Amino acid sequence: MLSRLKFVPMRLLQAVPVAFGVTLVVFFMVHLIPGNPAESILGAQATPAKVAALTDQMGLNQPVVQQYWHFLSNLAHGNLGESYTYQVPVLTLVWQRAPVTLLLVAYSVVLMLIISIPLSMLAASRPGHVRDHAVRVIPLVGLGMPQFWVGVMLLLVFAVGTGWFPVGGYGDTMMDHLWYLFLPALTLAISISPVIIRSLRASMLNVLESDYVATARSKGAGGRSLFAGHVLRNAIIPAVSIVGVNLGYLVGGTLVIEKVFAIPGLGSMLIESIFARDFPSVQAVALFVAVFVVLVGVLTDVVYTLLDPRVDLTQRMNA
Amino acid sequence: MSVVALSRTVEPLLSVQHLTIGIPSSGGGHATLVRDVSFEVGPGVRYGLVGESGSGKSMTLKAIAGLLPRGVEVLEGEIHFDGDDVLTMSPHERRRIMGPRMAMIFQEPMTALNPTTRVGKQIAEGPRRHLGLSKADAQELAVDMIRRTGIPDPARRARAYPHELSGGLRQRIMIAMALSCKPALVLCDEPTTALDVTVQDQVLRLLAQLCDDMGSALTFVTHDLAVVSQTCSRLSVMYAGRIMEEGNVREVYEAPQHPYTEALFQSAPDFDDPGRRLAPIPGLPPSLTDPPPGCPFAPRCQYAIESCSTGSKPLVEVRHRHLSACDLADQIFGGTR
Ligand SMILES: Nc1ncnc2c1ncn2[C@@H]1O[C@H](COP(=O)(O)OP(=O)(O)O)[C@@H](O)[C@H]1O
Ligand code: SF4
Ligand SMILES: [Mg+2]
């Protein structure tokens, strides 16, 4: 079992060049953002001389390649720079904001599973039946609506309208967090559930037709014992990689949804930093998100390996 | 011995009467996969169903086990097991007999085991559910069953996943699983077809021996005449969803009473006479959606005459406990003995 997880360190090592590529793209994209950070910091009233002085002091006059080199050598020392806006190391800011976003992502995944598994079971247990069609069609409506819009609708109905949930924010205790993050997590879950339901339904149907399910039935398994003992785990395996692919999309969605619900996570930090031309913060968030997506990929493979004893990614790696 | 036990031996354990299985379709032209099949299996008896692939053997077995695929239904007939009408059983009642009273072994050991569960746990599942054993006791029973199938180091094997075992070992695991609750009847669907010949032989011996040990009856489906002769005492020969001939294995081998059975023998290799030329049966089985009238074998039968293609051809007793669906059985086979 454990020997099959030997691929993990290797995969983590492979994340290094990916992260390097991300810094390259992010760094040069940041410098395409129109506007001068010194101007943003000093405000509209600042004299051109002051702006020029600060620009010079920040090294923004140097050739971009030289700036990138400077950025990389700092990065090698674990230094991502200081936020122009807050004058503190950006890493400090990222570490403050990251748990919020991670919790939101994890929460969304849990809600997504809570929505998708029963619905796909409902559909797969009676293919062609009304409830199968319902389960297949209704989520498509959710897929057709922009995430942003779904979030605003939930906000209007369940926060502004009924007052069951807060309009925005994050709260102080864990219970608070779960309450504050419910609607945004639900928004994200709704947006990716259709894809997951579709894949789970298809794989459940496959498994239900399989020989080993017939074997299980011949041992007297049926209903819940059949689903829990033989169908679910085998049906989830092909869906895991689809969940993995969509987690990247989920993280992207988080960044937007945080803004809608005023959640102090990495997403809002990213958007604020872009508007403030706070280049080091933008770079740090982008780098963190990229590393996170890579880690999620590895995690997906770990889950895949743990669920399916036939999978040995270590061998594929050596081949 | 009690009166009940005595009366049991008189009554068949499994009785299939006029079983007709098909795919109902609203637009007409439905396919009939099995037509008017009747046979009985007594307690402890090993009964074979033989025929070319597509003749409806698996469907017959699946109907008995209540495992017909979606869309395929029993259209007519009755199946009694242990005196109970299994076709009218609720799913719940059905689940209660599957395992402890009736068990099934499938053709493909590669796909018939759950790939993500250790084989020991898969064997233990039935005993836990039906015999009320604790997890530990069921696991112990599973290891013991594996030992009884002759697999060395059973405790270690119990922890293996199916993909870590060879086809022969997997089929032994299937046997251990099927027999773990001492069923009265074991349904086998070509359990050795996917295995190579030497392994096939070992697995058949094992199956026969364990069934004897446990007093289990066997209903054994195969396309391979040699396999039935090795395993069963009585058999039916199926063709195009119908029984063509039924009799005791030895008598059917020595004196087949149906041209299809005879053709089947001539198309199969003979170990006693390896030099004999194989004579494949020319032509193809008839359409199941639009079967020709009369004898279904007529288009391929070397003895066919005009009257073969009209009227129904019921199974009739041509010798003692030896039935044939061929109109001309007496003329063709009678004179030669
Ligand atoms: N799932 C299914 N749905 C519809 N028809 C089937 C299905 N499986 C098999 N059949 C058809 O039923 C007939 C009998 O099949 P089967 O009982 O499996 O034959 P055998 O076991 O004797 O080879 C075949 O013509 C086959 O094509
Ligand atoms: S009834 Fe006629 S066609 Fe059919 S098996 Fe007998 S001789 Fe052949
Ligand atoms: Mg078959």
Considering CB atoms only, which of A211, A217, A310 is closest to B111? A211
Structural domains for chain A: 1-85+276-319 (no CATH), 95-266 (1.10.3720.10)
CA of B158, closest CA in chain A: separation in Å? 15
Phi, psi for A243 (deg, rounded to 5)? -60, -45
The owner of tokens 């779960």 is A178
* pLDDT reading at A247 higher than 90: no
Beta-strand runs (E) in B113-232? 185-189, 217-222
User: Atom 4, ligand 1: which residue's CA is nearest?
Assistant: B72
Considering CB atoms only, which of B69, B91, B178 is closest to A222? B91
Neighboring chain B residues of A210 at a CB cutoff of 8 Å: 111
Say which CATH number the domain at B19 has.
3.40.50.300
Q: Does B67 touch chain A (CB under 8 A)?
A: yes
Beta-strand runs (E) in chain B? 14-23, 31-41, 46-50, 73-81, 84-85, 102-105, 185-189, 217-222, 234-239, 242-248, 316-319, 322-324
User: pLDDT value at position B129?
Assistant: 93
Range with the largest mean pLDDT of A58-62, A269-273, B117-121: B117-121
pLDDT in tens, A161-182: 888 888 888 888 888 889 889 9
**What is the rounded CA–CA span in Å between residue B180 and residue B127?**
7
The answer as to whether B278 is a domain residue is no
Residue B70 CA to ligand 1 center (angstroms) comes to 12
A152 falls in which pLDDT band (50, 70, 90)?
A: confident
User: Atom 27, ligand 1: which residue's CA is nearest?
Assistant: B54
User: pLDDT value at position B215?
Assistant: 93
The answer as to whether B284 is a domain residue is no
Range with the largest mean pLDDT of A104-113, A235-244, B24-33: A104-113
Q: Which of A299, A301, A302 has the alpha carbon at shortest distance from A291? A: A299
Considering CB atoms only, which of A220, A230, A307 is closest to B114? A230
The answer as to whether B130 is a domain residue is no
Q: Is B107 in the pocket of ligand 1 (CB under 6 A)?
A: no
CA of B150, closest CA in chain A: separation in Å? 22
**What is the rounded CA–CA span in Å between residue B140 and residue B135?**
9
* pLDDT reading at A313 higher than 90: no
* CB-defined site of ligand 2, < 6 Å: B 258-259, 295, 297-298, 301, 303-304, 308, 313, 326-328
Neighboring chain B residues of A214 at a CB cutoff of 8 Å: 67, 104, 106, 112
Q: Which of B79, B184, B222, B103 has the alpha carbon at shortest distance from B235? A: B222
A234 falls in which pLDDT band (50, 70, 90)?
A: very high
Task: Give me the tens of pLDDT residue by residue for chain B, a chain 337 residues long.
Answer: 444 444 444 689 999 999 999 998 877 668 899 999 999 999 999 999 999 989 999 999 999 999 999 889 999 999 999 989 999 999 999 999 999 999 999 988 889 999 999 999 999 999 999 999 999 999 999 999 999 999 999 999 999 999 999 999 999 999 999 999 999 999 999 888 888 888 888 889 999 999 999 999 999 999 998 899 989 999 999 999 999 999 999 999 999 999 999 999 888 776 666 677 777 888 888 888 888 889 999 999 999 999 999 988 999 999 999 999 999 998 888 754 4
Ligand 3 (ion): residues with CB under 5 Å are B 58
Q: Is the CB of residue B245 less than 8 Å from the CB of residue B229?
A: no
Q: Does B170 touch chain A (CB under 8 A)?
A: no
Contact B129 A221 (CB under 8 A): yes
- Average pLDDT over chain A reads 85
Q: Which of B59, B73, B190, B224 to mutate to test the pocket of ligand 1 (most atoms within 8 A of CB)?
A: B59
User: pLDDT value at position A1?
Assistant: 57
The answer as to whether B203 is a domain residue is yes
A119 falls in which pLDDT band (50, 70, 90)?
A: very high
User: pLDDT value at position A22?
Assistant: 82
The answer as to whether B279 is a domain residue is no
Tell me the residue type at A294. Answer: V
The count of CB pairs under 8 A between chains A and B is 81
Confidence check on the interface: ipTM exceeds 0.90, yes or no: no
Q: Does A125 touch chain B (CB under 8 A)?
A: no
The answer as to whether B192 is a domain residue is yes
Q: Which of B305, B307, B308, B323 to mutate to test the pocket of ligand 2 (most atoms within 8 A of CB)?
A: B308
User: pLDDT value at position B98?
Assistant: 94
User: pLDDT value at position A183?
Assistant: 93
User: pLDDT value at position B314?
Assistant: 92
User: pLDDT value at position A317?
Assistant: 57
Domain that holds residue B226: 2-101+181-271+292-336
**What is the rounded CA–CA span in Å between residue B246 and residue B228?**
13
User: pLDDT value at position B337?
Assistant: 43
Residue of A nearest to B64 (CA): A218
Residue B84 bridge partners (DSSP): B81
User: pLDDT value at position B162?
Assistant: 95
CA of A206, closest CA in chain B: separation in Å? 13
Residue of A nearest to B95 (CA): A220
Considering CB atoms only, which of A218, A307, A309 is closest to B104? A218
**What is the rounded CA–CA span in Å between residue A32 and residue A276?**
14
Contact B114 A216 (CB under 8 A): yes
* pLDDT reading at A43 higher than 50: yes
- Per the structure, the count of domains in chain B is 1
The answer as to whether B285 is a domain residue is no
Residue B33 CA to ligand 1 center (angstroms) comes to 7
Considering CB atoms only, which of A220, A233, A307 is closest to B126? A220
Q: Does B116 touch chain A (CB under 8 A)?
A: yes
**What is the rounded CA–CA span in Å between residue B191 and residue A215?**
13
The answer as to whether B31 is a domain residue is yes
Higher pLDDT among residues A57 and B167, named by residue: B167
Residue of B nearest to A220 (CA): B95
Q: Is B58 in the pocket of ligand 1 (CB under 6 A)?
A: yes
Q: Which of B92, B56, B120 has the alpha carbon at shortest distance from A226? A: B92
Ligand closest to Cα of B52 equals 1
From the CA of B190, give the closest atom in ligand 1. Answer: 21
Contact B114 A234 (CB under 8 A): yes
**What is the rounded CA–CA span in Å between residue A193 and residue A249?**
12
